[in-house]
Chains A and B, each alone.
Chain A
Amino acid sequence: MTLLLTTVAVHAESAKAVAAAAPRMDPLHHFQVVNYIKISPFGLDLSISNSVIWMWISVAAVFFFFWYAFRRPELVPGRLQSVAEAGYLFIRGIVDENIGSGGKPYFPMVFTLFFFVLFCNWTGLIPGSFTATSQLIVTATLALGIFFLSIFLGFYKHGLKFLGFFVPSGLPVLLLPLMVPIEIISFLARPVSLSVRLFANMTAGHTVLGVLFFFAATLPWVGSWLPFGFSVVFTAVEIFIGFIQAYIFTILTCVYINDSLHLHH
């Protein structure tokens, strides 16, 4: 009996050793924030982490792209200039469509927001890089900024009449105690859904890519070509998703600003 137990124990030990030697699947590893330089005045964490550095890199990439595209602006645009102009017109179309009259002052903010999110999504696809938008705190900061901006704009433009936003028109008074809390909750859910949507899309996509890369790297060659090929396809899908998510983020920003500017309830 003792012998049996010891053999079982030995087997368990060797199984553990095999498991430790085998490559471990850890698709969430590349979401870890590493602080390079620790800065924390007054208990605030202002450290320079890899997230911060990749945000800087994406801002620099946007800046140099537009600087290089418009270094010698011509009436008949060259290749790069027409790409940059297409981006400009694209955002202007979004602003005109969703905010309409009085949307001009918000164009620079929307433009910056779109290209920041887009380049954060896209630089994250470079192997070895870090996706800043896969951190909930980054997207939550952006979304809360937009949320408070829309509240501020509503009260600034309409005063206390902005509270009428929470009262749907054309309803019997009896239903109001039911509808007003629902409207308030759905208004408060806006920053949550806005931030979690972007964060979850980026995290999920990169996790899937991580799993695929793991299989491509560790399976014997008979099986590894399938996840390898699929990881190529999925990278293309991720480029598309990064664009779509940035687009949705900007469209919803415009919709929220529009709701505050033009009360149509």
Chain B
Amino acid sequence: MESLPASFIGMGLAAAGLAGSGIGLGFMFGKAIEAFARQPGAEAQLSKYVWIGAAFVEAIALYGLVLAFIIMGKG
């Protein structure tokens, strides 16, 4: 296979890693809303950790994006 099409396929595969981050974000916010519904008083305390966790999970997806950029530079 030529290198340019292969690099496009590789970029797509690297970006497919975003799916995992999506699952993680949905799971986390779902659980957070569940927790807020059960314990509304704890919302202010918990929401801080939710945002920190969201940034961590999002970062995982962006590693995949960085990989895609690296492949784009090589292709």
Contacts and interface: CB of A to CB of B under 8 A. Distances in A.
A201 B52 contact: no
B51 interface: yes
Contact of B65 (A204, A244, A248): A204
A197 B21 CA distance: 14
Contact of B62 (A28, A200, A247, A251): A200
Interface stretch (B6-14, B35-43, B53-61): B53-61
- Secondary structure class of chain B's binding surface, majority of residues: helix
A124 B28 CA distance: 29
Contact of A251 (B52, B58, B65): B52
Q: Please classify the interface of chain A as helix (H, G, I), strand (E, B), loop, or mixed, using the class held by over half of its residues.
A: helix
A197 B56 CA distance: 8
A245 B66 contact: no
Interface string A230-265: 000000000001001101100100000000000000
A248 B56 contact: yes
**Which one of B51, B56, B59, B63 has the greatest number of beta carbons of chain A within 10 Å?**
B59
A197 B52 contact: no
A150 interface: no
Interface residues of A, number: 15
B51 A197 contact: no
B17 to A, nearest CB: 12
Interface in A174-233: 193, 196-197, 199-201, 203-204
Contacts of B59: 193, 196-197, 200-201
B55 A248 contact: yes
A203 B66 contact: yes
A240 B51 CA distance: 10
B62 A201 contact: yes
15 contacts: A28-B69, A196-B62, A197-B56, A200-B59, A200-B62, A200-B65, A201-B55, A201-B58, A201-B59, A203-B66, A244-B52, A247-B55, A248-B55, A248-B56, A251-B52
Interface of B: 51-52, 54-56, 58-59, 62-63, 65-66, 69
Interface of A: 28, 193, 196-197, 199-201, 203-204, 241, 244-245, 247-248, 251
**3 interchain residue pairs of minimum CB distance:** A200-B62, A197-B59, A244-B55
